[in-house]
Structure 1
Amino acid sequence: MAARLPGMLAALWLGLVATFGATLAVAQDATVLSGTLKKAKDTGTLVIGYRESSLPFSYLNQASRPIGYSIDICTEIVQAASEEVGRELAVKWVPVTSENRFEAITSGKIDLECGSTTRNAERMQTVAFSPVIFIAGTKLMVPRASPIKSFRDLKGKTVVVTAGTTNEQAVAQLSKRFDLNINLIRVRDHADAFAVLSRGGADAYAGDDVLLYGFLAHYGAGKKFIITRDFISYDPYGIMLRKNDPQFATLVGKAVRDVITSGDMERLYKQWFMNKLPTGERLGIPMSAELGGIIDATPERPE
């Protein structure tokens, strides 16, 4: 028996070494970067798509640099990604529109889309989203003297919308459902839609209510236009990213939840929706009960 002991100890030692090696390999595999995070570490860059006229979510300041509520949230995501990959990541900014933003994500042209994009089940078949960061809804902007008070007054009227938005879908569905025969004008971006309405090319502009209020504030147009009371649709916003990239999706989700639970989201809301903006506007839009409910219901991430 004594003669066999060294051999048994050697076998036991080899077994422990093999087990430790397998455990270490599993631990290392768990931290191996993939998808967007691997690309970010290799290149030192995250590519962010931004909108040029989605005030106050994502728009250009006087120096033509993207700023806004969504931009600030994306900056927190970039910081979290930097910590995850172990190096400071630079940001490459790429402008996108309502029409090309989805292709920009799915093709890999951008890694995040930081704007005013509605998070819904249809879109989540092809892209992924962060947790909800805002809740908006489709309303109508019309001239003050207009007889249009709700969507039911749009029969035979011309409505301008931004192509590729849920606003476009909502108005088209209402027109068909209620036989309104609405003439839809589809334009490239929100600023283009406001321009069409301003020069009398449409009877109404259908857009997310917060963006419509942004145009009134930015152009001082409150004496010329009003926004109707009733919502045509409800639209929860999220930060858009590629689908089937679970590692990056987990990081984005944690980063946004940290913004919510730390109190930073309420601070950012006050900064971008209540206070005077860096570009001089003041929206003065109190936080909705729906968004407040999301903030209150978001559990803190366990350490």
Structure 2
Amino acid sequence: MRLPLALASIPLSLALVAMPAAAQDLTGTLKKVKDTGAITIGYRDSSVPFSYLDGDQKPVGYAMDICLKITEAVKTHLKLDKLEVKLNPVTSATRIPLIANGTIDLECGSTTNNADRQKQAGFTNSHFLTATRYVSKKEKKLDKIEDLKGRTVVSTSGTTNIRQINEANAARSLGLTILPAKDHAEAFLMVETGRADAFVMDDVLLASLAAGSKTPDAYVISSEALSKPEPYGIMLRKDDAPFKAVADAATKALYGSPDGKALYEKWFTKPIPPRGINLKLPMTEAMQKQFANPSDSPDPAAY
């Protein structure tokens, strides 16, 4: 546990609120956890590889592991002999209300940290940065946006991704034929069957689709992105500075240590349960910078 070093490196104001519990009157989530001896984690059932159910129907994932590190830090901070970790399923529709009403204390998934959500909830340091890229068959040798000139591409209807590729098509005079798909599965199938040269979507989703396909090694994700990085963060209750200070210190210590890189590689560059798929998504330069200098900013330009 490297929490004391992390606390020493954060601003004095945060260090003060993150002092041992005995030295101050507890409030908010820390008081709730101290009083009940339990902390509740909200998990997703199919947000691979962030938070999902394994073959035994147990919640696992990259974000789950980070949340468990935070709970360890909370236990140490409160000087508890033991801390019960409760698990509560959430969906995209319920995750914010359940944080706000106190049902869950941490939401561990793939939730985008943006300005609108920060009006409703707090976020600790971003744990992943996604961006809009495209997947194509390696044999086509496509990597940059310009490589798509004159090609047929697909994206999912109603997403920001299809808007972004339409904007790039107009701005760069790419001469694309852009096809809308009803969902991600249909869009990827169009690349599989040759009806489209590329599928434009969030890179981590593309990696998951390619990894789960019949021939994972046949696909490659573009190195060039059509968007700025989009941060994912662990949600916690808004305006709960003492609890956030503990979470921020814990995540900063993790990301700045060899354990942080190892955790990323475990879930994004190696086979993961239950099917042993490998997303083959190495850490980007933006992610390396985020781990070196963690931020909870909702602004894509900050990354």
- TM score, norm. by length of structure 2: 0.69
2:290 to 288, 291, 294: 294
Q: Kindly report which structure 2 residues correspond to 1:43-122, keeping only aligned pairs within 5 A, or say none.
A: 43-87=36-80, 88-122=82-116
Matched, 1:278 2:278: no
Gaps of 5+ in 2: 1-19, 171-175, 296-303
Q: CA deviation at 1:157?
A: 8.8
Higher RCO, 1 vs 2 (CA within 8 Å, ≥6 residues apart): 2
Identical-residue share of aligned pairs (%): 36
Distance 2:187 2:214 in 1: 15
The equivalent of 1:242 in structure 2 is 237
User: 1:251 is matched with which residue: 237, 246, 260?
Assistant: 246
Asked which structure has the greater CA Rg, the reply is 1
SS, match of residue 216 in structure 2: coil
What amino acid is the match of 2:105?
A: D
Alignment partner of 1:215 is 2:209: yes
Long gaps (5+) in structure 1: 1-26, 187-192
Shift of 1:52: 2.0
Q: Is the 8 A contact 2:188 2:209 kept in 1?
A: no
Looking at structure 1, the residues matched to 268 and 217 of structure 2 have their Cα atoms a distance apart, in angstroms, of 20
Q: CA deviation at 1:35?
A: 0.9
Deviation at 1:62, TM superposition (A): 0.6
Identify which of 112, 130, 135 aligns with 2:129. Answer: 135
TM score, norm. by length of structure 1: 0.69
Aligned counterpart for 1:232 among listed residues 226, 235, 244: 226
Secondary structure at 2:115 match in 1: coil
Question: What CA RMSD, in Å, does the superposition of the two structures yield over aligned residues?
Answer: 3.9
Q: CA deviation at 1:66?
A: 1.2
* Residues 1:221 and 1:66: Cα distance change in structure 2 (over 3 Å): farther
Shift of residue 106, structure 1, vs aligned partner: 2.2
- Counterpart residue type for residue 122 of structure 2: A
Q: Does 1:266 pair with 2:261?
A: yes
Find the aligned partners of 1:44 and 1:226 in 2 and give their Cα distance.
47
Supply the distance in 2 between the matched residues of 1:29 and 1:235 (Cα, whole angstroms).
38
Alignment-mate amino acid for residue 156 of structure 2: V
Q: 1:16 — aligned with what?
A: none
What letter matches 1:284 in structure 2? K
Q: 1:40 corresponds to which letter in structure 2?
A: V
CA contact (8 A) 1:54 1:211 kept: no
